[in-house]
Amino acid sequence: MANGLAGTTLRINLNTGEIKRYPTDEKLMREWFGGRGVIAKILYDEVPRDADPFGPENLFIMSAGVMSGCFIPSGAKIEFGSVSPLTNGHGDSNMGGHLGPALKFAGYDMVIMSGISPKPIYLFIDDDKVELRDASQYWGMGSLECEPKMKKDLGEDFEIATIGPAGENGIRFSCITHDFGRQAGRTGQGAVMGSKKLKAIAVRGTGGIKVHDLQKLTEYVTAIIKRTQTHPNMAPWQKYGTAFFIDWSNKNAVIPVRNFQTTYYENIEGISGEALVEKCLITHKACFGCWMNCGKYTKAVIPGKQAVYLEGPEYETGSLCGSNLGMTDINQVAYLNWLMDNVGMDTMSGGGVVAFAMECFQRGLITTEDLEGHTLNWGSVEDAEHFIDMVVHRRGIGEYFSGGSKRAAEKIGRGSEKFAMQVKGQEISGYDGRYAPGMLLSYMTCDIGAHHNRSWTITVDMAEGRDKIEGRAKVVVYLQHIRPLFDCWCICRLFWGELDIEPEEIVEALNHITGWNIDAAEAFKTSEKIWNLVRCHYLERNKANGRTFDYPPARSWEDKIPTGPSAGKGLSKEQIEAMLDEYYACRGWDNNGNPSREVLHDLKLDFAADNIEKLGLLGKPLPNGIPTVRGERYKPKAF
């Protein structure tokens, strides 16, 4: 194949150990774009709607997409997907590093795993040798300890991805770790791996990837390199990575502080990007084929503990495990980052869950008796570490929190549901939405539970007016179409999004690689199709109107921001309802949040329309036909 694909797809039955190879379905890849898109289609088609995410019928899929490994800037990603144990809907999460390219160099585009292995195993791929090997010697190890051990055992040139004890023990927000610090963090993909007794994936590939037009691609990439080398954003990115805008987030009062109780942090200097670089930085670390080098490999030193080595903290971890937990020193945040990476816990949900628990402790809803005699105070690394250990091993009250803050709140009750900061079961990202309505709407409507990756609108909120809610929906919809495309093609949004590269230029690169000759309009339409399919899948599994699940926690409208530059600000419930109304209208869904047949037909998803209709969840006919704005390329006015 001269289209950026490696050529072979693997299907593995973990019950029996059977490994099947077959030619990658190029038509499927073309129609669903690989990565997140093809994963969405396969999960929709093959996982029964009542399948337990931890059961044998759930699939665990890894897809390297068409652009990964193809000498394209930041072409390094690999996408994982399964029905999420955290949200009970389609779940996908990706990571950078080198695993995606390695899989393709070995000759494989996708690996689809079903069943449950009778004993701990790891997937071993060495070019055309594919085996399920005994992992009993690695089971129980932390991710950051397991990876070097496996490299020593197998060869330093193997790319390794592992889960830690959190994934092994079914902590629903477990992650997958690779390359000493890259994670596929969200939606609990590590927990699904653990449920299948799949400890790790080890890949070595020595083959090549053929593309449609290597000469044009090489010229294109060389030109992009030269153009972006002098871009003003490049040098600061290379120095600080995503941590640089911790300060900005605080100044504009969107940073979460002590479980989103407020949005301005008095101790920001201690956990800022500058603090990271000055106190902890060892080296700048890149993913395969990316010269932005935004990864920051660091060392954290806490008194009384051994120094630890990690990648990060990135912005999300820096905020959600920093100000959100009341930490005051970057070493503390880095240490917690390392801890969660090693046990294999998503630092975003992990930060959210620990913060929720800390607020429960603050309010006396959990006590030292619940915590094995320990406290759980803001700003205490020791307390956080002990609590995380209880959660990872599901001891005592740790069992409540092992399912995320939503499930914990259901058990704890007494009003705690209000401040379990999640949507659809997944904890929200490191930005408070009470005075950034587009951001709140982004969380509410994100397909995989609250996550900023699909849509981030804070500068739009600032430009359009933070007190105004009208007009946010079309921006959110536009972003929800363009941003997931990176997760389909397995390239990194940060490079392409931060350096003035237009969507048409990205599509040009795609065409040099694949020869598919698509344009930006088709790209957006396909992304919209995937979005709607994921929505239908969610409705079918959860059997209720979509609107039921699209609300943020009650803190979002009951608690005005108490302190800082945004003191007194917040949204009302009516405003939240109005934003949802506008969003659904924009999408061509009815006011229950259910896709209409008109839109699904337009997207060639009639089969999905039939399915949700059987459940009584098909959106009512649209009174004014299909809205045109949903596909509109919305360009917000310059801030």
Partner 1 sequence: MTIFLRAGGQLRAMLKPDIDHYTRKVEIDSEQTIGEILTAISLDPAYVALVYVDGKMKDLSFKPSEGQTITLQPPVSGG
Partner 2 sequence: MEIKRIRVAPGKCSGCRLCMQICAISHYDEINPRKAGLKIEAHFPQPGLYKPKVCSQCGKCMEACPEGAIYRRDDGSYIVINEKCTNCGECIPVCKPGVIFQHRDLEHVIICDNCFKCTELCNTGAITVFTRPVKDSA
244's tokens? 């640089």
Residue 369 near partner 2 by CB under 8 A: no
**Rounded to an integer, what distance in angstroms lies between the CA atom of residue 183 and that of residue 93?**
9
Which one of 235-243, 299-307, 338-346, 580-588 is the stretch in contact with partner 1 (CB under 8 A)?
A: 235-243
Site for partner 1 in 265-284 (CB under 8 A): 273-274
Nearer to partner 1, 358 or 475 (CB): 475
282 lines the binding site for partner 2 (CB under 8 A): yes
Q: Could you say which residues in the range 51-110 bind partner 2, by CB under 8 A?
A: 69-71, 98, 105
DSSP label of 512: H
| Phi then psi dihedrals of residue 44, to 5 deg | -65, -45
Judged by CB under 8 A, the residue of 49, 133, 216, 239 near partner 1 is 239
Task: Give the pair of three-digit tokens for residue 91.
Answer: 């779940």
User: Can residue 290 be called a binding residue for partner 2 (CB under 8 A)?
Assistant: yes
Touching partner 2, residues 112-171 (CB under 8 A):
144, 148, 156
Q: Is 387 in the site for partner 1 (CB under 8 A)?
A: no
**Strand 121-126 and strand 198-204: pairing?**
parallel
How far, CA to CA in Å, does 279 sit from each of 180, 294, 538?
A: 20, 17, 44
Q: With left for phi above 0 and alpha for psi between -120 and 50, is residue 397 left, alpha or beta?
A: alpha
Rounded distance between C-alpha atoms, residue 170 and residue 54, angstroms: 8
Site string for partner 2, 205-234 (x = CB under 8 A): -xxxxxx--x---x---x--x---x-----
Among the residue ranges 21-29, 232-240, 329-337, 624-632, the one whose residues contact partner 1 (CB under 8 A): 232-240
342 binding partner 1? (CB under 8 A) = no
Token pair 């009778």 is found at 118
Q: Quick count: other Cβ atoms within 10 Å of Cβ 215?
A: 9
Report DSSP state, residue 77. Answer: -
The amino acid present at 341, given as its one-letter code, is D
Select the span of 31-39, 195-203, 491-499, 570-578 touching partner 1 (CB under 8 A).
491-499
Q: Does 450 bind partner 2 (CB under 8 A)?
A: no
Q: Is 245 in the site for partner 1 (CB under 8 A)?
A: yes
- Which of partner 2, partner 1, none lies near 245, with the C-beta cut-off 5 to 8 A by kind? partner 1
Residues 6+ apart with CB under 8 A from 623: none
Minimum CB separation of residue 233 from partner 2 in Å reads 14
CA distance 489 to 544: 32
- Chain CA centroid to CA 154, Å: 29
Which of partner 1, partner 2, none has residue 44 at its interface (CB below 5 to 8 Å by kind)? Answer: none
Q: Report the nearest approach of partner 1 to the CB of residue 428 (Å).
A: 12
- Provide the token pair at 510: 């795609």
Q: Measured between alpha carbons, how far is 6 from 13 in angstroms, rounded to an integer?
A: 21
Q: What is the DSSP letter of 402?
A: T
CA–CA separation, 123 vs 125, rounded Å? 7
> What residues line the site for partner 1 (CB under 8 A)?
230-233, 235-237, 239-242, 244-245, 247-249, 251-252, 273-274, 314-316, 429, 431, 452-453, 456, 458-459, 462, 493-494, 497-500, 638-639
Binding region for partner 2 (CB under 8 A): 69-71, 98, 105, 144, 148, 156, 179-180, 206-211, 214, 218, 222, 225, 229, 238, 282-291, 293, 295, 297, 299, 309
